[in-house]
Amino acid sequence: MSGRVFSRASSPNPAVAVEAHGSTIVDSQGREYLDAAGGAIVVNVGHGRREIADAIAAQSARLSYAHGSAFTTEPLERYAAAVGAHLPMDDPAIYPVSGGSEAIETALKMARAVQIARGEPGRWTVLARWSSYHGNTLGALDLGSDALGTTTELVDELERTIEAAGPGTVAAFVAEPIVGASLGAVEPPEGYWPAVAEVCRRHGVLLIADEVMTGFGRTGRWFGVDHWGVRPDILVAAKGATSGYWPFGFAAASGEIHDQVRAGGGFTHGFTYSHQPVAAAVAGEVLRILESEDLVTASAAKGERLKALLADRLGDHHAVGDIRGRGLMVGLELVRDRSTKAPFPRSAKLVEAVLRIAREHGLLLYSGTGNANGVDGDIVLLGPPFVVTDEELRRIADGLREALDLALVGLAAG
């Protein structure tokens, strides 16, 4: 299919997707693909949900757009109240936008506004970890790019960094609860998150949890920080909030943070499509489905099943260094030497070959590179919809094994 679209696909002639259902996407030739990645770890309630399409149609027919500077809307108010019951913070308030990158930018401006409202305008520095990714806008990109160690080492490094920046200069610390695309479902060492929260509180630094990928059940809890009982000052969400049915994300602030910003003069910020009523209606319907079908619990159980299947098929594979993750966010680290965990060189483009071969066999995967040293190191990240069946989980494990073996044969021959 030719045209004037700047394509994101690696192929010059990508397949044309025309419909989808459950964990399956169908192209214009009638070929089916098992979506083992939920797109980009986005789709949680499954493709082709008629009730979500109906919610879009009903809200669009009633009210499709009203600018957030002039109005609030019924679907937005309903959603804010409903999602607040699941957010790991007291009396939260949400600022809705169109996606994860916008939500991160919103959180950064929100943190700055809080520090000014507190009478500390010198706090302008925002800290993030090495090997992190928080979005594709300039502010979000500037955060990314901590090697893992012990909890003591990592927390001490954070505290030293705050102190080195100078007293009263750090506004916030941003991190994913479980590292997603940049490292491939890497969990922190035990005790890390509670210790980080304590350091931030002690130094007056706001804690921002980036839950764009980990939120809405992806790790088997409503939000990733729930695994450690941490309550951030600001939480950023997107992706699974609308399961890919509508561009949407939000930055949520605790009631204390929200009230401080309002008392300090308000929050001067906005996008054309922030506070969008149709987006709120979609998010509300996805939330209802997650609750009514107990899909967060399903993510936890199916994630353990997927890891067990992968361990059976790939646990002793010479090119697999690790299988990890929580819920239906599972990562595989591909290595050249299993004993040393030495990575394949970036020039080998191994993970690209794995994804291409898997796609040719009707299996869609998600990948990352540079996890070993910023350049070398390949990961495969799995994140199928929470409605994935046991048969489909077996197909994912079998298909990934086959694609990896074929890619390695090609690499050796080339």
- 151 in a structural domain: yes
Classified as helix, coil or strand, 354 is helix
Q: Are residues 305 and 315 in the same domain?
A: yes
The letter for the amino acid at 282 is V
Q: Are residues 288 and 298 in the same domain?
A: no
CATH number of the domain enclosing 56:
3.40.640.10
Q: What is the pLDDT of residues 76-106, one digit of tens each?
A: 999 999 999 999 999 999 999 999 999 999 9
pLDDT given at position 382:
98
Domain boundary among 268, 292, 316: 292
CATH number of the domain enclosing 338:
3.90.1150.10
Phi, psi (rounded to 5 degrees) for 325: 125, 175
Q: What is the DSSP letter of 47?
A: B
Please state at what angle helix 100-117 crosses helix 255-263, rounded to 10 degrees. Answer: 60
pLDDT (mean) for 334-345:
95
pLDDT given at position 326:
98
Q: What is the pLDDT of residues 103-116, one digit of tens each?
A: 999 999 999 999 99
- 278 in a structural domain: yes
pLDDT given at position 141:
47
Is the pLDDT at 207 greater than 70? The verdict is yes
What's the rounded Cα separation, in Å, for the pair 68 and 279? Answer: 13
What's the rounded Cα separation, in Å, for the pair 414 and 412? Answer: 6
Nearest to 211 by CA among 126, 87, 106: 87
**Domain extent at residue 400:** 17-48+294-413
Q: Are residues 184 and 300 in the same domain?
A: no
pLDDT given at position 153:
85
Domain boundary among 274, 292, 310: 292
pLDDT level of residue 144 (50, 70, 90 thresholds): low
pLDDT given at position 194:
97
What's the rounded Cα separation, in Å, for the pair 284 and 276? Answer: 12
The letter for the amino acid at 102 is E
> How wide is the angle at C-alpha 86 spanned by C-alphas 242 and 227, nearest 5°?
105
Residues 6+ apart with CB under 8 A from 405: none
Q: Are residues 284 and 390 in the same domain?
A: no
Is the pLDDT at 146 greater than 80? The verdict is no
What's the rounded Cα separation, in Å, for the pair 95 and 253? Answer: 8
Nearest to 227 by CA among 172, 181, 183, 189: 189
Q: What is the DSSP letter of 89?
A: S
Is the pLDDT at 155 greater than 80? The verdict is yes
- 1 in a structural domain: no
Q: Are residues 336 and 245 in the same domain?
A: no
Q: Are residues 245 and 281 in the same domain?
A: yes
pLDDT given at position 257:
97
Query: Is the Cβ–Cβ distance between 75 and 218 less than 8 Å?
Result: no
What's the rounded Cα separation, in Å, for the pair 145 and 124? Answer: 19
Q: Are residues 35 and 184 in the same domain?
A: no
Q: Are residues 28 and 62 in the same domain?
A: no
Q: Are residues 346 and 215 in the same domain?
A: no
- 3 in a structural domain: no
pLDDT (mean) for 54-75:
97
Domains identified in the chain, total number:
2
Give the C-alpha distances (Å, rounded to integers) separating 219 from 173, 196, 231, 264, 330.
22, 20, 17, 36, 9
Q: What is the pLDDT of residues 111-140, one digit of tens each?
A: 999 999 999 999 999 998 877 776 666 554
User: Ramachandran region of residue 217, left (φ > 0), alpha (ψ -120 to 50) or beta?
Assistant: left
pLDDT (mean) for 201-206:
97
* Cα 187–chain centre separation: 14
Weakest mean pLDDT among 51-60, 124-133, 195-204: 124-133
- 10 in a structural domain: no
- 9 in a structural domain: no
Is the pLDDT at 269 greater than 60? The verdict is yes
Weakest mean pLDDT among 54-63, 178-187, 283-292: 178-187
pLDDT level of residue 5 (50, 70, 90 thresholds): confident
Is the pLDDT at 145 greater than 50? The verdict is no
Q: Are residues 320 and 193 in the same domain?
A: no
- 114 in a structural domain: yes
Domain boundary among 292, 312, 335: 292
pLDDT (mean) for 375-396:
97
What is the percentage of the chain residues whose pLDDT exceeds 90?
Answer: 86
pLDDT given at position 13:
84
Q: Are residues 72 and 167 in the same domain?
A: yes
Q: What is the pLDDT of residues 10-35, one digit of tens each?
A: 777 899 999 999 999 999 999 999 99
Q: What is the mean pLDDT of the chain?
A: 94
Q: Are residues 101 and 235 in the same domain?
A: yes
Is the pLDDT at 392 greater than 70? The verdict is yes
- 2 in a structural domain: no
